[in-house]
Each structure stands twice: as C-alpha cells, then as structure tokens.
Chain A
Amino acid sequence: MKIINLLGTAVLVTLLSLFGVAHAQKSGGTMVFLVQPEPPTMAGYVSTSGPIGLLAPKIYEGLFDYDTAGKMIPVLAESYEMSADGKTVTFKLRKGVSWHDGKPFTSADVQFSIMNVLKEVHPRGPNSFKEVSSIDTPDSHTAVFNLDNPAPYMMRAFSAYESPMVPKHHLEGQDLKGAKLGNNPVGTGPYKFVEWKKGQYIRLDKNEDYWGSDGPYLDKIVGRFVPDASTRTAAMENGEVLYAAYNAIPNIDAVRLKERDDIGVTTDGYSMINPMALIEFNTKEGPFVDAAVRRAISTAIDRQFMIDTIFFGYGKPATSALSSNFSATGLHAEMPNYPANGDIAAANKILDDAGYAKDGNGVRMKGTFDLIPYGEDWRRGGEYLKQVLGDIGIQVDLRYEDVPTWLKRIYHNYDFEMNLNYFYQLSDPVLGVHRHYGTNMIRKGTHFVNSSRYSNPELDKLLRAGMTQPDATKRAAIYKDIQTILAEDMPVVNLFELEFLTVFNTKLKDAYGSAMGAYASFGNAWLDD
C-alpha cells in the first residue's frame, strides 16, 4: 500500500507561508476583476468554457488543488490512498464542510458529482473518469473509487475547475443542463453567489461559514464584463478593475502597463491549462495529405519570430507534439522537424525530394488556410504563415469566418485543408493531447478532437498503453515513442506554447499559489491599500 500523507505537506506549506509573509493579511474590500466574454451560465460541471472557469471555482471546490510545482493540495479531500494495482483509490473527505445553503457536504455528493454529473455531461469528465466503474461510500466521509484499469492521469483532474463537486440535493432527478443551479450556483467554496446583472457583472460575497481557517479575506469578488479591449485596459489603468487573466488585456497594452509601479504582469498560472498554438491538416483530402509536405511546413516556420513579433515575446517554440510543461512528469521529449527559427532551405529540399516541382511562378501547390476566429493575433499569425508558405512554394488564401461557421467547417464538415488553432494540452497528455490523434477521437460533430482524421494503429496502441501505465519511467518511454511517430507523420504541426498574460493591480495579494491561476478559488487573496 502506498500512502500519501497530504496533510503533512499542507501543514508544512502553511507554516512556510506563515513565516514567509511579513504583513498579516487584511480583511475586507471588493476585488473587481475582468471576465471576458460574459459566460452563458455558471454551470462549470457542464461547460469548461473560460469565463465560467474564472467564476465557478470561487464558488465550487474540487477534491484537490495543485500547487505551482504540481503537488496536490488537499481541498475537499484530506488525503487519498491508492491500492498496489492502482485500481482502487480511497479518498478521506474533509469533515465539517457545508454547502452554501447549510446542508452538509458528504461522500454521497462526491459519488453523485463524479458518476452522475461529470461522467455524464461534463465535456472532459467522460475521459478523466473513464475507468471509474463505481464509487462506494462506506461512510459519509469516505469515497472509494473502483477503477477498471489504473488511471494515473485521473489524479491530475481533481481541481475545482476541472472536476467541481456539486450538491446532490440540487441536481438529483433534474435535467442537468437546464437545472436552476446553472444560474444560481451553490457550492462549498470561499465565496457565495449573490447576483448576476446580465451585461454588467456577477457578484460573489464572502462565505462566512467557510471551512478553511486561512481566509477568505475579501468581502466581495465582482466579475465585470467589458467587451472592448481598449476600455478594459483603461479600466485597469484607472484602478476600476484589479485583475485580468487570459489576455483580457491584450499583450500590446500589457507590455506598456508593466512599466507602471501599481500594475504587475505574470505568465504564471497556466501550466495546467497548457495552451499550444498549432496547425491542423486535413490528412484525408486536399494538398496536405502527404506527410512530407507537413514536415516541410513545420521545418519552414520561424516560431520564435511569431512569438516575438505577434505575441510580444510571450511564448515558447514547440519542440514536439507535447508541451515542455510535461517535462515535470518526464513525458516531454524534443523532436526533429521543429527548428525554433525555421529553415526555409531545408524545407524546400524536403519538398524537392518529395517530387513537388515549382511552376514558373515558383508555386508548387495551392490551398486554403483557415484561421481560428479568436481575435487579431491569430489573423496576424495567419498573415505571417502565408508569407512563409509562399517562400517554400505553397500558395495559400486565408479564410477568417465567425465562430459557429468555423466550428462547423472544421469539426462537422471537415471542409478545410489547413487550420490555425490552439488546443489546451491540460495537466496530462491523456486529458488534453490524446483527443487530437487517436483513431477513436475521429468524431464527426465533436469540437476540438481529431479533425485531421489521422489514424495510425501503432500510435493508437501506444496511446492506450500511455493511459494505463502507472510507472513513471515506463510511461515516459511510451510517450517518447508517441512523440517520435507524431514528429514523422505530423498530422498536426505544433507552433508554440502560448503564454497567456495575467495583468493585476499590485494592491491584490496572494491571489496566486495554485497552478490553476485565474481558475483557482482566490480564497487567500486580500487587498493591501
């Protein structure tokens, strides 16, 4: 039996932070922050959409949180114990926790949240908890997960954002997507939902009965919706809002605001989101069915140039199908065909060798390049890529549509040739990367999965092995093979690891500490004046 005592770690962390903090936290104040765009509902158990992630984890909690080093921080669970075969995980739940309506939080809520909610209606829950066949509740503060196969990745999916625990008594027997809870959330977290003024703000008040001894210190947290980016910047400059994550303040303004004494900028807090910019190719039809062409494209792109000129230096060139953030778990391995500064000559040579001759105008092939409709940066990225592709004789027309049209084109109709996009690789490749490459993830009509329709039985076998292998070294070897195959076949060319920016007023203290960054609870945050 492997026993991990998380309580000990927690006590240590608390002690360290006590000595580390020079001033005592001050209570009171309202923390206004930017939420962009306005979310449709606050049902974080149905949707992982970004703006919901900014708000719901302040109301709902998960079993664990993760610190910046990736260590588990106990939240609603105090500890867990995994059997030797990895097929039984027993969670000891925290006692004395109650929902915002006063009802006690018990193991029945955990069972219901995982089995009836997350496994059923959550976009990623069916993957995260795929192996969980049942949950036993021997007493009200013990939950025993019974797994069909070991699922090491599951242990990285317990944050409030990824797998929120929801009140059974509010959802049982109801239509989960239409339940009242969606617009009137009731959680166990440090802040309670008070009011939602559509088009203006969502207001959360301090949970006076919170179980934690450390916080919450803020009286209120208000999420404000400001549609115009320049106005968001002005509101930050004016001190009307104190916190803006996920590039709510565009990079171009963030680099300017950074110079001010009262405003800070950080790239921390996105390691478990792990965004990766990339190009998806149609591997079934069109000009890019030949892997050699895709390899040539990957070789030609000056990734560092894109980062420096379009994203103001925030980003890191991709070196394989996996983000370098997976180095912490030993899964990342650097691969060929990913030169950081691009190599036009080498790319041209690949295409020459593959027999694609240039015509009189220096054009080898023509195509259409779709761009993700999420803002100007991507448009500029597309313009740069068009130029580079031109240098190696691939002439593309750029296409920029609105979100529904684009989603339909890429993921329903497969009516595209190449597509600029970004994916969240999340906290484990099983959760964020497998969906892009597995044959079982070619799902017409499902968004952000294997739209390339790339299918390789050998890779499928490796992906399955990577999913269930509990041993870290063996797992790393499997993922090295996976990355090698993907660097050769390149159904997707990774461009660079995006670094999202968080811009904050320095009055706001201790809002960080969780790897979830802006998607964390802010339970320890306080305002210094």
Chain B
Amino acid sequence: MNRTSKILRYVSRRLLQGIPIILAIIVLNFFLLNLAEGDAVDVLAGEAGSATPEYMDQLRAKFGLDKPLPVQLLVYLKNVVTLDLGYSFRHDMPVSKLIVDRFWPTLLLMVSTIILAVGFGILLGLLAAVSLNTWKDAIITVFALITYATPLFWVGLMMIVVFSLNFGWFPTSGMENIAAFHEGFDRVKDIAHHLVLPTITLSLFYLALYTRMMRASMLEQYGLDYVVTARAKGLTERRITFVHVLRNALLPVVTMAGVQVGALIGGSVIVESVFAWPGLGMLAFESLFARDLNLLLGIFLLSSALVVAVNLIVDVIYSFLDPRIEIG
C-alpha cells in the first residue's frame, strides 16, 4: 500500500471516530448547561424590566423550553444531524448565521496569533538553546517568564494606554473604523490596523509557552546519541542544529499548538473583551449569561469539531516531520 492511500484511510477512520466523540460532547454539554439556574426567558424578561408570567410561559412554549429535558435533547440532536444548529431566540436569528458572522474575526485573530506565537516562539527558543547560558539566553528566558506570568487583560490595557492613547499609533478597539465605513482595499488595511494590538497581546502569552518549550526540547535533543554520532561523523554544528535537532525538537511544539487551537477559541474571551473584537469567545461568554443554550451548544459543537480536525492535522504533520512515526 502506498503512503497516500494509507493516509487517506487513516484520515477517514479518524473522522468516523470523531462523530461519537462530538455527539458525546453535545450530550454532556447539554446537561451541564441545563444545570444552571434560570433560562433564556428569565434573562429576557429581567432585561425588559418586567413581564407577566403568562407572557413568560408563552415565550417558553415558543422556545420549546416547556418540554422535558430529554425531549429537548432529542429535538436538538435531530436538528444537528440535519446540520441545523437551531435558532437563537434571544437574537431572533438562526444560530448558524450568528456563528458564521463571528467565526471570521475569530479565525483571523486565531491564525495571526498562532503564526506569530509559534513562529517567534520557535525562533526565540532556538536562539536561547544555541546560546545556552549566555546573556541572550538569559534575556529570552526572563522575557518568556514575564510575558507568561502577566495577566492578559493587563497586557491588553497597557497596550491600549501606550500605543493608542500615548502614541496614537493604533485604534483602541473594534475591528474596523465605524465612523468611516471603508470599502475594498482600504477596509482590509483598516482591519489589519485594528488587528495588531489584539494579536500581539494574545500572542505574548503563547509565545512565552512555545519559547520555553522549544528551548527545553532543543536541549533535550542535543543530549541524545544521534547528535554525538553526527558530531563524530564530522558534521558542522550548524547542520546538526538545523537539520537534525530542530526537526526533532519541533514535535512537542506542534503537538502543543494543536491542542491550543481549541483553547484559543475560548481563551481569547479576555482579549476579545478588552479590544471589543467581535469573535466567538465573546459570543459564547455572553450567551452563557443570557442562557442562550442553542447558541452556546452551537459554539461548543463548532469548537469540538475544530479540535478533532486540528488534532488529525497535527497527527498527519507528525508523519512528515518524523518519518519514523507511522500512520495506520
């Protein structure tokens, strides 16, 4: 059997295995969320100031909240099978539309953050490892420690104070300049301009993680037998570092990055909140307090599917990074 068809078979098998996992996640989430006191109708009526009990019963019947829980779950599962994520009664909109609208900003922030964090993390970790116990190593290690230990919201607010208020280089918040309503390429530029501060803020935390991981991983590899062999063969240090050690040292970093894609969706809540970035994290956060369970389940479904997919991709990447890891 050749390698491509092996990979294809592996991927389809893993995808099939993903289905029961996602279903289990839905069921678990459904019951977990229903443990919370109060429902969407309570919140809506509370915000409205006052509402009669008849009106609230009417709303419950309309939302399907008057049915027993198992029935609600079955209805939801039936809908999900037909790829219908249901309706958010709070927003009076289909859940899928709400999620898709907020997915692109999240993806934008996520991808730019991962590229920045993983890219610089690898670079800094590498630099620290090759300059072990020099001032470079010390600076990088301290930098990583500080950024890792600093709370995200504080970093975000300081970014705003320094770069928006004092220097005036970047806007404080939002995804685009809404007084101007740019079109076309101007809009792309405008969004990129707004993306800078949130990306840097969110990256700093992960950057520290990858730097430390990469450094440790490199050092570990340096101590292994194959490096001794390579040196004995007379290879240059440069070649040993970049061709042999780097490649092997990347494995744990890639694993970590894969795991964190899932966390990034939810973990960006703070950054989204500080920079008013209209992403999924904020939407999930708000829907929890509004008890908008359909919407919340939809977001969880999407993130669990994403985690399953990313883990699969990471496993495939492994086999390229290290041909000894067999897929099958």
Q: Which residues of A contact B (CB under 8 A)?
A: 30, 32, 37-38, 40-41, 46-50, 121, 123-124, 126, 175, 177-178, 182-183, 197-201, 203, 220, 222, 224-228, 230-231, 234-235, 237-238, 240, 401-405, 407-409, 412, 424, 435, 443-449
- In whole Å, how far is A414's beta carbon from the nearest beta carbon of chain B? 14
Contact string, B102-117, partner A, CB cutoff 8 A, digits 1/0?
1001000000000000
Known: A231-B275, A234-B160. A408 touches B42 (CB 8 A): yes
* Contacting residue for A240 out of B91, B171, B275, CB 8 A: B171
- CB-nearest residue of chain B to A225: B276
Is A126 a contact partner of B157 (Cβ separation < 8 A)? no
**Residue in chain B with minimal CB distance to A235:** B172
Q: Are B93 and A201 in contact (CB under 8 A)?
A: no
Indicate if the CB atoms of B93 and A183 lie closer than 8 Å: yes
- Given A228-B273, A447-B50, A222:B173 Cβ within 8 A: no
**Complex CA–CA separation, A227 to B164 (angstroms):** 18
A447 touching B46 by the CB < 8 A rule?
yes
* B149 in the interface (beta carbon within 8 A): no
**Cβ-based interface call for B2 (8 A):** no
Q: Which residues of A contact B52 (CB under 8 A)?
A: 126, 443, 446
B237: Cβ under 8 A from any A Cβ: no
Identify 20 residue pairs between A and B in the complex whose beta-carbon atoms are under 8 Å apart, listed by A's number.
A32-B179, A40-B90, A47-B44, A175-B62, A183-B91, A197-B278, A198-B102, A200-B178, A224-B178, A231-B157, A231-B172, A231-B173, A234-B173, A240-B172, A404-B36, A405-B36, A405-B38, A409-B37, A447-B45, A448-B46
B47 at the interface (CB under 8 A from A): yes
Across the interface, do A227 and B273 meet the contact criterion of CB distance under 8 Å? yes
A46 and B91 alpha carbons, distance in the complex (Å) = 13
Segment touching A, from B53-61, B249-257, B259-267: B53-61
Contact of B276 among A178, A220, A231, A408 (CB under 8 A): A231
* Known contacts A123-B48, A198-B102, A227-B273: A407-B174 contact under CB 8 Å: no
Q: Which residues on B sit within 8 Å (CB–CB) of A448? A: 46, 49-50
Taking a contact as CB atoms under 8 Å apart, the answer to whether A235 and B173 are in contact is yes
The one of A175, A199, A404 that contacts B46, using a Cβ cutoff of 8 Å: A404
Q: Is the interface of A mostly helix, strand, loop or mixed?
A: loop
Bound-state CA distance A444–B279 (Å) is 38
Which among B36, B47, B62, B181 has the highest number of chain A CB atoms within 10 Å? B47
User: Would A198 and B278 be within 8 Å (CB), given that A231-B160, A404-B36 are in contact?
Assistant: yes
Q: A224-B276, A231-B172 are in contact. Are A237 and B165 (CB under 8 A)?
A: yes
Residues of A within 8 A of B49 (CB): 47-49, 123-124, 424, 447-448
Scoring B residues 132 to 158 as 1 if CB is less than 8 Å from chain A, else 0, what string do you get? 000000000000000000000100010
**Inside 8 A of A46's CB, which chain B residues have their CB?**
48
CB contact under 8 A between A444 and B53, given known A199-B102, A224-B276: yes
How many angstroms between the C-alpha atoms of A199 and B180 in the bound complex? 18
A443, B50: Cα distance in complex, Å: 11
CA distance A409 to B42 in the complex (A): 11
Instruction: Tell me how far the C-beta of B242 lies from the nearest C-beta in chain A, rounded to whole angstroms.
Output: 43
A199 touches B48 (CB 8 A): no
Question: Is the beta-carbon distance between B171 and A408 smaller than 8 angstroms?
Answer: no
With both beta carbons as reference points, the residue of chain B lying nearest to A38 in the complex is identified as B286
Contact indicator B173/A199 (Cβ below 8 Å): no
Q: When chains A and B are docked, how far (Å) is the Cα of A130 from the Cα of B35?
A: 39
Q: Looking at the complex, which one of B38, B171, B174 makes contact with A200 (CB distance below 8 Å)?
A: B174
Q: Which of chain A's residues have a CB closer than 8 A to the CB of B326? A: none
Q: Across the interface, do A48 and B42 meet the contact criterion of CB distance under 8 Å? A: no
Task: Report yes or no: B173 in contact with A226, Cβ–Cβ below 8 A.
Answer: yes
Contact A445 B91 (CB under 8 A): no
- Residues of chain A within 8 A (CB-CB) of B174 are 200-201, 224, 226, 235, 240
Could you tell me the distance between the alpha carbons of A226 and B164 in the complex, rounded to whole angstroms? Answer: 16
**A449 near B278: Cβ-Cβ < 8 Å:** no
CB distance from A275 to the nearest CB of B (A): 12
Q: With A227-B276, A404-B36 given, is the CB distance from A198 to B282 under 8 Å?
A: no
With A177-B62, A224-B276, A226-B174 known to touch, is A404 a contact of B48 (CB < 8 Å)? Answer: no
Compute how far the CA of A256 lies from the CA of B162 in the bound complex, rounded to whole angstroms.
Answer: 18
Query: A410's closest neighbor in chain B, by CB?
Result: B46
Ranked nearest first, the 8 interchain pairs of A and B with the lowest CB-CB distance are A404-B38, A199-B278, A47-B48, A49-B47, A405-B37, A226-B276, A445-B53, A48-B49
B92: interface (CB < 8 Å):
yes
Report A-chain residues with C-beta under 8 Å of the C-beta of B93.
Answer: 183, 198
Instruction: Give the residue of A182, A412, A447 whose beta carbon is less than 8 angstroms from that of B92.
Output: A182
Q: Is the CB of A227 within 8 A of B50?
A: no
Within 8 A of A (CB), among B165-186: 165, 168, 171-176, 178-181
